[in-house]
Amino acid sequence: MFVLVNLKAYPCDPVAVAEAAHDVAGSSGVRIAVAPQAADLAAVAETGVETWAQHVSPNEHGSHTGSTLAERAAAAGAEGTLLNHSEKRMTLADIDASLDAAERADLETCVCGNTPAQIGAVAALGPDSVAVEPPELIGGDVSVASADPDIVTDAVAAAEAVDDDIDVYCGAGISTGDDLDAADDLGASGVLLASGVAKADDPKAALEDLVSPLA
């Protein structure tokens, strides 16, 4: 199972969370990555934790003010990138262009979708992985694996119908070991979470609880 912690724009200490994630990954053997703000990529990568960008733009070098170039994210230490999160939606054309940019920069990719139908559509673009995240459950206390297990199994089926090598992750409301266990049982290869770690009083303890079923 893969655990990707999205720090969004929460007022947490990204380096402290990254150090906690690095420690827990080392002690548990679970693959854990952290996705900080673009400005914090280098500082987070320096902790040794696997580091992801929250987004890369569908652009090459040029006159694109405000863009996050995949090449610059990689140079700062990113190893992968999220795309099309519910809070950073993209057109299919832009997702496709960002996937091309990520490939040029040798970044692993995970494209998010709200429904199994969306998962099937974005899987057809050829990312390394996809993640199903119903927006109404994001940031809440109830995980998608508990509230709507069918959406996870249907998302897995939709992705496998396109390419059975694409990993499927689930997100929205993930915060505990029980949530991770449920996601695993439903066929997911990993989980995305944010507030469960980024807003926790003790991020290391939160991560230790999360990965406890795998330790």
pLDDT in tens, 148-167: 788 889 999 999 999 999 99
pLDDT at 143: 59
Domains located in the chain, CATH noted: 2-211 (3.20.20.70)
Mean pLDDT, rounded, for 87-116: 97
Extract the tokens encoding 167: 């990993």
The predicted model gives 85-108 an average pLDDT of 97
Fill in the amino acid letter for 40: D
Q: Catalytic: which of 85, 87, 108, 160?
A: 85
38-59 pLDDT per residue, tens: 999 999 999 999 999 999 999 9
- Asked if 54 and 35 touch (Cβ cutoff 8 Å), the reply is yes
Please give the Cα distance from 155 to 149 (Å, whole number).
10
pLDDT, residue 215, reads 73
Asked about 85 being catalytic, the answer comes back as yes
**Which residues, at least 6 apart from 78, have a Cβ–Cβ distance to it below 8 Å?**
41, 45, 51, 52, 53, 107
Give the Cα separation of 122 and 202 in Å (integer): 35
d(CA 193, CA 20) in angstroms, rounded, equals: 15
Is 50 considered catalytic here?
Answer: no
Residue 182: is its pLDDT beyond 90? no
Span 201-215, pLDDT tens digits = 999 999 999 999 987
Annotated binding site for substrate: 6-8, 138, 173, 194-195
